[in-house]
Amino acid sequence: MAAIRYSGRATLRLTYRDATSDYRVSINSDGLPSEVVIVGEPATLTHAVDSPEAFDDAARAAISFAESLGESCSYDDAGPFVARKRAECWTSAGSVRS
């Protein structure tokens, strides 16, 4: 099970690993070497580990634990902002371009 998420200029590639019950997150940003962060699954599951919401949560956690992101990611009042599509897909009014 795998997914890609975006935050600012960072691209996060997530893979859920059944054998270890965790997410391996490879983060690429601004041409820097990839950083790999391992995120365990939550102690209390509120949705399936392979759901889009679970991958969103794992991506946010990985951003919080990453060491070399600097200003590459986007944040809002709730913490790291994660999107399922690249920022170029959005218009200035916040709607998706077709």
Tokens of 14: 């997530």
> Over pLDDT 90: what percentage of the chain?
32
The pLDDT, as a whole number, for residue 81 is 63
DSSP code per residue over 20-72? TTEEEEEEEETTPPPEEEEEEPPSS-SS-TTSHHHHHHHHHHHHHH-SS-TTS
Domain that holds residue 42: 2-89
pLDDT digits 0-9 by tens, 14-38: 999 999 999 999 998 877 778 899 9
Report if residue 80 sits inside a domain.
Answer: yes
What is the Cα–Cα distance from 35 to 3, expressed in whole angstroms? 16
**First-to-last C-alpha distance (Å) of the chain:** 27
Of the listed ranges 32-36, 52-56, 76-80, the least confidently predicted one is 76-80
How many domains does the chain contain in total?
1
Report if residue 96 sits inside a domain.
Answer: no
Say whether pTM exceeds 0.85: no
Report if residue 27 sits inside a domain.
Answer: yes
Report if residue 98 sits inside a domain.
Answer: no
Tokens 């399936």 belong to which residue? 48
